[in-house]
Structure 1
């Protein structure tokens, strides 16, 4: 799989406080000559047609000893000029267009195919976290495709131990708009194959508790904004402590997003967070780390 990307644009470079500035940034990064959102939408559709979506990988580390436990596969878009745009810049537009499941399908297929190749990742015991919208997970044909890709992975692991399935489906809190019972019915065949579930962006602006109650969640990913607020304020830290106690009671592995400094790392260690990911260990890259 050709991943070659000339540069990666960090999510921290994006405007976050002003949605108007965010939309303007997206249009500029997509090479838009028009000020209308329609142009950016057309560019995204064209990127899908021209197969300009790529995977970038960010390591997930165990905080107590900094051992790499897995990777998260992140969506990236290549512009016609060869620039790389992060998912934060276009995923909202994709959701509005109803094509987020198509992006999920492309990225999961690329990442699972790459993991099937005879490279160190394929034989390593690490996890591969795959971002999935609820609309994608609610589509039976998409789940069938994941099962097919899993079988292909097993066939390619000649002589390797395939008892530890690497796939973790990350259900983002951003768009939890599907009946949890329906999701569970669709996911059960994959769960039987060893797939695991993570609840992503936990502590963002949307409530994920119905999904936490209804689905066999294994990993709880703490939203970057929640982590940063907890690091700055006493009230935020108290919320973090309560969430971590909840995760402990439910026997969940906690993963802090947005680890960006030694101070944050030590604070999260002291709180008892299990794993973490963030720019402290570098930008996401088009190459998987050796686990």
Structure 2
């Protein structure tokens, strides 16, 4: 027999059952919303479900969900259910407008029900048509989100405080779900933006890489034929010379120009001439090995770098190039029989560096053209046949007589203190008709004549004069001037240098004389005598381009030098070439063991500079620090460069 239950108990049970059903309904709602939010494309659906469930809960004609913008200056009806839902959804309004704006500004519910407290101009379009509204804030765990609004009861009655409480409770239940939906949406948007940015970045990087490759190609290749230009040919020559020096083997350079090419241009026009150059370049290329470099130097002049090639190898290649021209070249219904003159120079017999090899091959090519031979191999006696050489020599003599050879100054950086401590004076010649003539073109001409002696003294005097001016401006540093082997043969050199120094009241210790290994070793005993006198005068002596010559350590120990300059050919690839890194490291250690300082030439990037500093190199010079500067530009450099900020002498104390 079941026990009797009184009415109070039954009522209490019904209340608990109703509460249980309500909680089950709330749990089901939250579960449904959470599943929709987590679905792939259900976030908009989730907002609609929330609005629909709230409308059912309150028996409202319309429910909207206005969400606050990130900058809190506006709100958007993210979802709506019921009457005018499509029109409302997506509408955006300033936060100063409407009931939603009031609730979002004040972050508290609108509980009065009617809109009588709002002025006509404060209501938005839909509120002017509505008679009864309740609106509660929608708050997540981490931020204020917006609100939920119910507009007009379906039965025509007014919303009560009980309705307001139901809507507030509903808002609390779905707030976190709404917040998660918004976060997921923001996350997806951010992810899409990141992906778009990543794609754009990859595209930009690819485009930048292509542009850099194109710029590098344009900088190093002839735009007409696509062949390496003079800069790249010289670089390939330098690489071939370094390998030849290391492996004690020869390398060769061929220079070639086409006979009567000017007549083709003048008769048939430059377009035909350009096509002829391109076709000839293609034929030459097909006659060469893969390691060989064919380049166009300009006009109808080509150069071929032959690594690991002897004089006989170069002669065979020259014959192959001539064979390639024996077949006529057909261009636009014209058939051309092309001939060429070839000059050959071989390292090391005809020159130790690119400039001297280019010069020797150029002279040999002129000899071949004049003698109507297919090719000629350079001989020293050919030099008198070069009319360009004779013309430059005449103009150089006049420039030295007039004192129009100028000096540029390239700073030397002390790697320990990080300041400029010296400069190297470099000769510059501006020809009145040809413009700037690079030193590698006119220095060899000077070295073949007695002009190198007055020329060197003239540059030395300009350097001392300039540094004396700097000293008057309270800027003090050493200056280095290059000497040739011809200077070292001159017994009057110490006296001449002393006279210049004394005339400008210049500190002997601030003058550095740089001598190449080859200049010293040409006549080492005589060089030792001259260098000894210069050392006794208090001058500093430096071995230039160390590592590129054939010096003897026995003589190096006896030389009164205080500095070794590491050649740029080893510094250039210091980071990427293990052999160069070993040579630089060994040179620094050798110099320090002998009590000498080291200067690294050709420093062009921060990574190389830091590596040299780690190797305990003493000084560095190169384009990273500064290119060679005119006297006026160097003054400006000293005034503005952080490296030069402490190069000034301290002001004398007053009193």
Give the TM-score normalised by structure 2.
Answer: 0.37
Q: How does 1:87-236 map to 2 (within 5 A)?
A: 87-117=439-469, 119-120=470-471, 124-154=475-505, 162=507, 165-207=509-551, 209=553, 211-236=555-580
- Using the alignment, how far apart are the partners of 1:122 and 1:82 within structure 2? 35
After TM superposition, the structure 1 = structure 2 runs for residues 77-96 of structure 1, keeping only pairs within 5 Å, are 77-81=429-433, 83-96=435-448
Which of 42, 52, 58 is residue 404 of structure 2 equivalent to?
A: 52
Cα shift at 1:217:
0.9
CA RMSD of aligned residues (A): 2.9
CA distance in 1 between partners of 2:432 and 2:390 (Å): 18
The answer to whether 1:281 aligns with 2:625 is: yes
When residues 208 and 124 of structure 1 are mapped into structure 2, their CA distance, relative to the original with a 3 A threshold, is farther
- Per-residue Cα deviation, 1:109-149 (whole angstroms, up to 9, x for no partner): 211223333x3477544211111112213312222111111
- Report the Cα offset of residue 250 of structure 1: 0.7
Distance in 2, matches of 1:275 and 1:259, equals 10
Give 1:192 shift.
Answer: 2.6
Deviation at 1:187, TM superposition (A): 3.5
Structure 2, gaps ≥5 residues long: 1-229, 238-252, 256-296, 298-354, 363-385, 639-646, 648-655
Farther-moved stretch of structure 1 (266-275 vs 230-239): 230-239
Please give the alpha-carbon distance, in whole angstroms, between the structure 2 residues aligned to 1:94 and 1:116.
Answer: 27
Partner residue, 1:4: none
Evaluate the alpha carbon distance shift between residue 14 and residue 190 of structure 1 in structure 2; reply closer, same or farther with a 3 A threshold.
farther
**What is the rounded CA distance, in whole Å, between the counterparts of 2:566 and 2:416 in structure 1?**
17
1:245 matched residue in structure 2: 589
Deviation at 1:15, TM superposition (A): 5.8
1:35 offset after TM fit, Å? 6.9
Per the alignment, residue 6 of structure 1 pairs with: none
Which secondary structure state, in structure 2, belongs to the residue aligned with residue 144 of structure 1? helix
Q: Is the alpha carbon distance of 1:147 and 1:123 closer, same or farther for their aligned partners in structure 2, counting shifts above 3 Å?
A: farther
Q: Which has the higher contact order (CA 8 A, sep 6+)?
A: 1
- Residue number in structure 2 paired with 1:8: none
Larger radius of gyration: 2
Change (3 A) 1:15 1:60: farther
Structure 2 counterpart SS, 1:165: helix
More helix by share: 2
Using the alignment, how far apart are the partners of 1:14 and 1:150 within structure 2? 42
Q: State the alpha-carbon separation in 2 of the partners of residues 222 and 112 from structure 1.
A: 24
State the alpha-carbon separation in 1 of the partners of residues 388 and 487 from structure 2.
28
SS at match of 1:259: coil
Q: Is the 8 A contact 1:231 1:264 kept in 2?
A: yes
CA distance in 2, matches of 1:13, 1:284: 19
Shift of 1:178: 4.1
Contact kept in structure 2, 1:58 and 1:72, CA below 8 Å: yes
Gaps of 5+ in 1: 1-11, 28-33
